[in-house]
Amino acid sequence: MRGEQGASQTAPAEENSRMVERRIKPYQEQLAEDQRRDEQRRAFRRNQAFGLLIFAAAILAWWLFHTNPKWIFPPGWWRP
């Protein structure tokens, strides 16, 4: 029990708060951070779009394989 004395105390407010930098940043540093954030956001949105397209293609493929083939390819569809 003696070793646990520090564990019962509450943590300082700094450790519980979000990581927020309180200093005023130079303008160039702010621009660089904004550019990095924009690049990351674009990559995230691009990956999100590709993921949704793959998901839609999987649903379409499942539907094609599990539906009645006569509905998709009626008799004589390839002959005029």
Task: Report d(CA 63, CA 59) in Å as an integer.
Answer: 6
Task: Report d(CA 73, CA 55) in Å as an integer.
Answer: 24
Reported as a single tens digit per residue, the pLDDT across 33-44 is: 999 999 999 999
Q: Summarize the confidence of residues 6-35 as an average pLDDT.
A: 75
Find all residues with CB under 8 Å of 64, minimum gap 6, and list them: 72
* pTM for this predicted structure: 0.55
Residue 52 lies in a domain: yes
Residue 10 lies in a domain: no
Pair 72, 64: CB distance under 8 Å:
yes
Range of the domain at 76: 25-80
Angle subtended at Cα 66 by Cα 63 and Cα 72, rounded to the nearest 5 degrees: 70
Residue 37 lies in a domain: yes
Pair 48, 56: CB distance under 8 Å:
no
What is the domain count for the chain? Answer: 1
Residue 68 lies in a domain: yes
Residue 3 lies in a domain: no
Residue 46 lies in a domain: yes
Reported as a single tens digit per residue, the pLDDT across 38-74 is: 999 999 999 999 999 999 999 999 998 998 888 888 8
